[in-house]
Structure 1
């Protein structure tokens, strides 16, 4: 499905192809993409606190304002706090942006997909990327502020699936954090080879859900971001 996202301060429109996983075989019927949470329903006995926050430019504090201009860098931080638990490594499995709190609403834009591939830079040549880890239980990334061309409000809600695995678990195609660069996909952790599937399919939904039965995960949201045209109100 194609969505038009406006990020250029000059008013140019970037045409973005959004990819959604098929949950069943499709012939001539219209495919209606939906956000499907992980099938795993087991709740961990240990206490884990997941969070997703907008951060200030220096990454020291939670950002007090939700207002941005087109092209601004949005600092987003995902964390997991553990209590009486083995150390965990945090990943952002997928994220979508929407104009309402309903994650299945349209228009919508998937900017992290395929089990941790931050695809925004690939689609739009933006500077969106993961930052090097400062803590194993924290993951930070940049997202260039944008507006949906179809919506006049400039509001953007961001919903992500966060997941945590034991630190001793090696990164792989289903647990990774990969950014797109001019030279290809780059991992924030070990070998960049785990990013090799970012241009294709990293796992089937059924296989991913089976693996996640032993993982800790949560759906988290931030927003709405209020993204204004450059120079708005001046």
Structure 2
């Protein structure tokens, strides 16, 4: 009967309240010394309760409707009977304006409930069975002296979980809430509760201890009110360092010849120049010693950059290799080096030409990263000069472009930029008859070229040296 009485007291008095503090123990509550673990958790919970007292009593009622779940020392009486003499009449007399609160009123208002002899007895009886409620675990211990048999631990369980620690004085059941012990979790308007039952069910043919079931409950308040009596906000936690610099975020947009971004799907004709702009999100706030680099760009007929076929226009860590095919493909200078613009002549994939399809939809995919202001072999923007047959860096330092004539050595580190894709555009095939001009192609004999014509001289130079371009 003594154990059953303790169980009733435990149900009404041991409903514990969790506070938002760090979990200082590991995920496995099994430890070498359960007594030290119990004392440690008592200290942690006790410190938190002192820093953040429970809310006003009326908000913390147990399932039975009793207010006894709040520690006795924190209870604030609803009213106090005071024998006031005539000397106190002026203290309670209403008057205009404001004045400091008299000491007598402070003494009356802050009177705390004095634990009664009965409550002290209940606390003493509670020592037979104790519970600690933490934000992620429940610890229960029961004194061994209440059992008459040495193997009582075999029949003692917390829900479905057995005793997992023991000392000469106590049996311990230390479990995380995520353990499958039969914890019943209930959600209420202002608190969340966890219930379980401490069972003692001996299976021996004879009994020396009576079986019992002790209901246990932990209550976790959902919120606190700043106006609640006795609530003292406490700032907890350590120092958290968060980088103010935004992670690299890039965009690749299509533009018209004037530099305005094109919204929607643009349609080009074959050979028409297309303009692109790559920049970092919030580039205006970037560092003055940084520059945006495009390492590689290629076109596909699908939104998926891993699809085929694909046509590469920029390669070798910043070489405009399509510039050897057409003058329209080149890097363009910008007012800010946090932005990189380039142009490419419109094209279509030969294998996708169909008599039924009037146009092809294409996408541009680029590998972009940030680097130092001075270009290197692995971060550059090199154009091919058709006149000199040489590679030149957009802002000088032409020596970094010497790898553009071949494939960069594998000894150099690969670019680590992320592939960014543009919005799609369409290119009309020549059979659609939508081209702005139909160039008339003529056949010339190399020996009959008039070198006095500058244009013809350029073609003569090309025919004389074309083998050296590849």
The CA distance in 1 between the partners of 2:346 and 2:285, in whole Å, is: 38
Structure 1 position 218, deviation (Å): 2.7
Q: How much does 1:229 deviate?
A: 2.2
Out of 306, 317, 321, the position equivalent to 1:104 is 306
1:139 Cα offset (Å)? 0.6
Q: CA deviation at 1:164?
A: 0.6
Contact 1:173/1:203 (CA < 8 Å) preserved in 2? no
Match of 1:179 in 2: 383
Partners of 1:202 and 1:142 in 2: CA distance: 23
Whole-Å Cα distance in 2 between the matches of residues 127 and 223 of structure 1? Answer: 20
| Cα offset, 1:118, TM superposition | 0.7
CA contact (8 A) 1:174 1:203 kept: no
What's the Cα RMSD here? 2.2
- The corresponding residue for 2:118 is none
| Rg larger for | 2
Deviations 1:45-74 (A, max 9, x none): 721331110012111x21134211111110
- Does the alignment pair 1:208 with 2:438? no
d(CA) in 1 for partners of 2:308 and 2:244? 36
Work out whether 1:63 is the aligned partner of 2:262: yes
More relative contact order, 1 or 2 (CA 8 Å, 6+ apart): 1
Unpaired runs of 5+ in structure 1? 1-43
Distance 1:82 1:73 in 2: 26
Counterpart mapping for 1:46-195 below 5 A: 46-47=245-246, 48-59=248-259, 61-64=260-263, 65-80=265-280, 81-82=282-283, 86-87=287-288, 88-122=290-324, 124-152=325-353, 153-167=359-373, 170-182=374-386, 183=388, 184-195=390-401
Q: In the superposition, relative to structure 1, how do residues 112 and 54 fare at CA in structure 2: closer, same or farther (>3 Å)?
A: same
Seen in structure 2, the aligned counterparts of structure 1 residues 107 and 134 have a Cα distance that, compared at 3 Å, is same
Residues 252, 420 of structure 2: 8 Å contact kept? yes
The Cα of 1:227 is off from its aligned counterpart by: 0.3
Please name the residue that 2:51 is paired with.
none
* Cα displacement string for residues 91-138 of structure 1 (whole angstroms, at most 9, x for unaligned residues): 11101111111222221111110000011121x234210112321101
1:229 matched to 2:433? The reply is no
SS of the aligned residue for 1:105 comes to coil
Instruction: Report the equivalent of 1:197.
Output: 403
Residues 45, 118 of structure 1: alpha-carbon distance in 2 compared, 3 angstrom cutoff: farther
The count of corresponding residues between Structure 1 and Structure 2 is 181
Which deviates further from its counterpart, 90-99 or 126-135?
Answer: 126-135
1:166, CA displacement in angstroms? 3.4
Q: Determine helix, strand or coil for the equivalent of 1:198.
A: helix
